[in-house]
Structure formats: structure tokens, C-alpha cells
Chains A and B, each alone.
Chain A
Amino acid sequence: GQQLNQSPQSMFIQEGEDVSMNCTSSSIFNTWLWYKQDPGEGPVLLIALYKAGELTSNGRLTAQFGITRKDSFLNISASIPSDVGIYFCGRTGANNLFFGTGTRLTVIP
């Protein structure tokens, strides 16, 4: 299948802490996408990565496209309560978008 392995599955952190999560695959991809899903809503695109080694930031979020093209990570600095949600990595191919299983983030005030 199109399996993308995300870790960790869940995280509980204190407000103000930094967060790191990653996504790996056995296949090479040309695009990595990171989405966030708030409770009761659909996923929203956070960051898109298009080439190996690329490092892209969006406010407190930073994501990198791994050199091997088989992995990507997402970092969140100085977490705040509204960072709560599920973070999904995704990759595109064959006319579609496939997702990892997600990392559920809980921020404790």
C-alpha cells in the first residue's frame, strides 16, 4: 500500500515546550506535505516540501524534506494550547494524496 509511518502516535507536552515528530517511508517521494486537523474539522495544510534537503518554516513550525527522500520531520517551537490536534504527513503521487496515521498532540497549560 501507500504506508507512511508516523511517530510518535501521541504526545503530551507542557505549554512552551518544543515538539518534534517525523514520518518515514520505504519509498522515495517527490513531495511531502504536513497537515493539521483540529478537533471536529478537516485537515489544513501547514507546510509543503518539494525537494530533498529543503527546510521550510511557517511561523513556529519548521519542516524538512529528508536527504534520502524517504522521510520528513516537523518541529513546533514554544508550543501553545491551540497547537492541540492531529498532525498528518502526506505524500502525493498517482493523482492523489496519501496520509500517514497521524500524531496526536496534547498541550498541557
Chain B
Amino acid sequence: NAGVTQTPKFQVLKTGQSMTLQCAQDMNHEYMSWYRQDPGMGLRLIHYSVGAGITDQGEVPNGYNVSRSTTEDFPLRLLSAAPSQTSVYFCASSYHNSNYGYTFGSGTRLTVV
């Protein structure tokens, strides 16, 4: 049972490049979310999904796209990377919201130069 798997673990991009951060979970969780973590800012919600085919914006969605074509996968796309998107990105999933808590992946450290 792998839990939440994020790839890659590290990535360096040039400004303007695009890329996709991958997230997969094998727990049949309905809810999936993407967070970014910056020093002193805690974890901020980027986008989330409550089930396949359903996505919505979080606190800081600008510059990111998501899709949820399957229950297992929730990729995060950076359309045109900017230095302000240098951060550590975490994917998380939950069977239900609220009472069950969320399981997190180990993160992707992204640097945009």
C-alpha cells in the first residue's frame, strides 16, 4: 500500500517553462488536494477535488491548473513557471473531508530560475 505518491521529488525549471507535478493515491480516496509550502506561510491550498471530474480553486490557484479524470490521479500543471512558484508542493488525499484527516505525499521541491 503506497499511500500518496508524488513525482518528481525535485525539479528545476526555467522561467516560462511548463510542467506537470504528478500525484497518485491507491487508497480509493475521494478527496484530493494540492498545497504549496513556503517559509513562514504554512501550507496554502492551491486546488482541490472532491471526486473524479470535479475540481475547484483553493486560496492560491493562479498559475496552476488541475484535472481529475480518475479517482487515483490528480496532476498539477504549471502553465508558465515563474520564480514566485518556487516552493515545496504537497499532494494530499482523504476518504471524506473533515473527520478523517488527510494523508500527505512526501512533496516535490520545485525551483524556478
Contacts and interface: CB of A to CB of B under 8 A. Distances in A.
B81 interface: no
A43 B58 contact: no
Which DSSP category, helix, strand, loop or mixed, fits chain B's interface?
Answer: strand
A100 B42 contact: yes
Interface size class of B (residues with CB under 8 A): 20 to 34
B102 A101 contact: no
Nearest to A98: B45
Given A30-B98, A42-B106, A45-B101, A95 B40 contact: no
A97 interface: yes
Interface in A84-107: 88, 92-93, 95-102
A50 B98 CA distance: 9
Interface in B5-50: 31, 33, 35, 40-45, 48, 50
Interface in B76-113: 90, 92, 94, 97-99, 101-107
Size category of the A interface is: 20 to 34
Contacts of A59: none
Nearest to B3: A42
Contacts of A44: 104
Interface of A: 1-2, 6, 9, 30-31, 33, 40-45, 48, 50, 88, 92-93, 95-102
